[in-house]
Structure 1
Amino acid sequence: MDSPVSTRPQPATAFVTRERIGVALLFLMNGFMIGAWAPKIPEFASRLGLSESTLGLMILTFGLGSIIMMPLAGGQIARIGSSQVSKIGAVLLTPTLLLLTFVGSIWTAAIAICLFGGLIGAMDVAMNANAVAVEKQMRRAIMSSCHAFWSLGGLIGSSTGGYLIEHAGVNTHAIFVTVAAAVMVAAAWPNVLHDAPHPDERAAAKKAGLPLSPLPWLIGIMALFCMMPEGAVLDWGALYLRNELSASVTQSGFAFAAFSLAMAIMRFAGDLIRDRFGAVMTLRACAVVAIIGLLLAGFAPNAPMAIFGFALAGVGISNIVPIAFSAAGNLPGIAAGVGLSVVTTMGYSGILVAPSVIGFIAERTGLANVFVGLSALIIVVLALSRLAAHADGAHHEAETVAD
């Protein structure tokens, strides 16, 4: 007699695997490219004679490139798999900083920066989809630590970029970034998990149009409402401390520094917390902490209290977006790449929309009220927290066995 098929869930695999290293390197490389671009912006604007408004349009072009390419990448992931799209995107992205260094006119620069933003966005969707596939294979959470590696890459790129531009020159910096990015891609290449898409996903990818299910759109709202406060702290935190709380120039720089440092630390810890307590409980706890942090920052009587509030907000927001991305990659009946393309596009559009909208509101109400108001967005995320249960689909996949 045949032995019965066990329906018990399989245990999680080793904490570190080749596939986890591979996708982490992709996140590191993508963040490194973004970080290396940041200190280059003043030189880029000076070389092309861009005014502040024209530079703003250039940066908007970067964002538009990302928003255009993200849905296209989602469709390609459903056709050929996230590993292929990630690798192709990484290879094409590697020389783009060189391209941005040698463009000589506004129009060629606009094309180059649109391409740069588009490839960053396409790779973002693909590497998040690959992280979801690795979570399913490992039966444990890894998304938060992947995003932590992205933050680490940004820190490395930005901290080395300014020094190299000042001491070695723009061309040397661009060559260094290109070589370093190529090394990261080469190291990741043999380790990236190859995920052949399911035939149903290929069939779904051939259908035109956006997902009809409300699930990816609701999870996209969660990502959008978390990334808007992140963009607000990045763009307006220092100005708030300086203008409304009379902080020094040095102190005002601590707004985003405290937020981003707390976020990076908590993202490295986030996977263990999520594995222990589940995605829904983790997201709810993070949302409550984020709400408290934003309220503290908005009602702060002085700069140190506001900085502490921003740090708490970073702790809270840190793991909400990775959980939302994991949930988007595990939605029933929706290809991982398609679900992720919707959520990433909505989420990152928040960082693009937030600065201009917040500037308009702040002129009339003040930035303190803006940060208090942003806590209401996290309350909406808290109300939608049950949707985070889809993020745990990767861990419980083994429980679903055909009868």
Structure 2
Amino acid sequence: MASDPAAGAREDDRARTSSSRARLGISLFFFLNGFIAAGLLARLPEVKSHLELTTVAFGLIVAAFPLGSISAAWLPAPLIRRFGAAEVAGAGTVILALIFATAGFASAPWLLALLLLLGGFMDAVVDASQNVHGLAVERLRGKSIFNSLHAAWSVGSVTGGALGLGAGALLIPLSTHLVVSGSLAVLIAGWAWSLTVLSKRAPAYNLVGSMGPGAAPAGERADAAAGGAAAGGAAAGGATADGNSAKPWALLIAIIALGLLGALIEDLGMNWSSVYLNQVAGVPVHTAGAAYVVALGGQLIARLLADATTDRIGRPAVVRAGGVLVVCGMLLAMLVAEPWAVVIAFFLSGFGSATFIPSAYAAAGALPGFRHGTAITLTSWVLRIGMLVSSPLLGYAAGLVGLRYALVITLAAGVGAVFAAGWIGAGRRRRRVRERIA
């Protein structure tokens, strides 16, 4: 029977429309993941004053969030396999919004700590699931979108923080502000969910999408998420086509190492850049925050540009170039302790390191030999541990040699990223070899 060209064209149009909706939906989830927590984070000094917390007590309470996220290590992968990544991301985002909306009413330190613990727990679940689904949508569209998804997170974080600062300046009560922003987040999450549901009409969705309960068996789902490699390689036990189960783990460790290097550099920009501009370059406290803004701006710009560059030259080359920029930035900051040099240095650092964590997630999701969602869940968990210890590490080094020379740690991280970049493509090369064998 002859095929109908008009019917084929209509099917292609539906697939393109569905994949565009899927991209918008997952972009909104990433935006919300940055937006929801930022409103409270921007007003933490107000919370500290209201609850009359000492510095030690405040530090312990704030630590509840990363502690909660680390404790969620076991949960995302089985939830993703049982319900689907998009489904878990949608439900988790709504729960996360409700938790932070409630935080505005916390009248006791223990209650705030409990809510932050629950928030960190749920944030880890959402983070892993949205990254798994984001990689699936990237496969569906056939071109890189992963860096722009993390850019959407950056935009959400900036937006939520700005609204928090504005609400504080207008003396809007924290409870009112968080309820309004939480309600807005729930509405946007519902919209994102509707876009994701519509995307299931695409013919390719069940191959690379969120892999709900009615999809292929677990071993086949892992291979589909990795790009269609032979189904036997990701069967029980995680053995590859050559029977060696150690190599996928070695590759995953190397990929996680790249993410940890990125986390260390990002922590410098977020938590230490303003301090460096003040203490080393001599900029007054009230304007030293410019270093943080510049670092975050460099990261956002790079993530918006990185997808097109990745499609042209590949993820390893993008990461290598980023590592070189980080090294140049850190050398500039250490050798020329002038305000203009420090600002440029932190822009280069933010711009250069912007693709490290997204690339680590993308490479982990494409790695054969793991059940669906497992590699990304493990990557997310280890990165959160790294983020918890990176600031104390930099602080300890600064106490020993001074903040200026403590930057040698992040300089070394940039060098490490240059060498670790080669591992980003290793899983893809192994997948292509398996496809040729099959």
* Amino acid in the other structure paired with 1:356: P
Cross-structure match for 1:363: 399
* Secondary structure in 2 matching 1:94: helix
Distance change (3 Å), C-alpha of 1:111 and 1:125: same
* Secondary structure in 1 matching 2:195: coil
Mapped partners of 2:137, 2:261: distance in 1: 27
Mapped partners of 2:376, 2:97: distance in 1: 23
Contact 1:62–1:116 (8 Å) recurs in 2: yes
Cross-structure match for 1:342: 378
Cross-structure match for 2:124: 121
Cross-structure match for 2:408: 372
Mapped partners of 1:15, 1:303: distance in 2: 48
Cross-structure match for 1:5: none
Q: 2:163 aligns with which of 160, 163, 185?
A: 160
* Amino acid in the other structure paired with 2:317: M
**Which stretch has the larger CA shift, 46-55 or 136-145?**
46-55
- Summarize the alignment of residues 214-253 of structure 1 with structure 2, pairs less than 5 Å apart: 214-253=250-289
* Secondary structure in 2 matching 1:225: helix
Mapped partners of 2:35, 2:236: distance in 1: 34
How many pairs does the alignment contain? 388
Shift of residue 132, structure 1, vs aligned partner: 0.6
Mapped partners of 1:215, 1:97: distance in 2: 37
Cross-structure match for 2:226: none
Mapped partners of 1:350, 1:255: distance in 2: 23
Q: 2:360 aligns with which of 299, 321, 324?
A: 324
Identical-residue share of aligned pairs (%): 27
* Secondary structure in 1 matching 2:53: coil
* Amino acid in the other structure paired with 2:190: A
User: TM-score, normalization: structure 1?
Assistant: 0.89
* Amino acid in the other structure paired with 2:217: P
**Which stretch has the larger CA shift, 238-247 or 41-50?**
41-50
Shift of residue 207, structure 1, vs aligned partner: 8.3
Q: 2:29 aligns with which of 14, 22, 26?
A: 26
Q: 2:186 aligns with which of 179, 182, 187?
A: 182
- Summarize the alignment of residues 67-216 of structure 1 with structure 2, pairs less than 5 Å apart: 67-167=70-170, 168-192=172-196, 194-196=209-211, 198-201=216-219, 213-216=249-252
Contact 2:100–2:178 (8 Å) recurs in 1: yes
* Amino acid in the other structure paired with 1:184: I
Q: Which has the larger radius of gyration?
A: 2
Does residue 270 in structure 1 map to residue 270 in structure 2?
no
Cross-structure match for 2:387: 351
The C-alpha deviation readout for 1:179-218, integer Å capped at 9, x for no partner, is 210121011011225521641348989989xx96222222
Cross-structure match for 1:4: none
Contact 1:217–1:342 (8 Å) recurs in 2: no
Unaligned runs of 5+ in 1: 1-9
* Amino acid in the other structure paired with 1:228: L
The C-alpha deviation readout for 1:31-51, integer Å capped at 9, x for no partner, is 101221212212222232211
* Amino acid in the other structure paired with 2:158: L
Instruction: Give the structure, 1 or 2, with the largest relative contact order (CA under 8 Å, sep 6 or more).
Output: 1
Distance change (3 Å), C-alpha of 1:391 and 1:160: farther
* Amino acid in the other structure paired with 1:91: V
The C-alpha deviation readout for 1:337-380, integer Å capped at 9, x for no partner, is 21111112222322221111211221120111111331112222
Contact 2:26–2:192 (8 Å) recurs in 1: yes
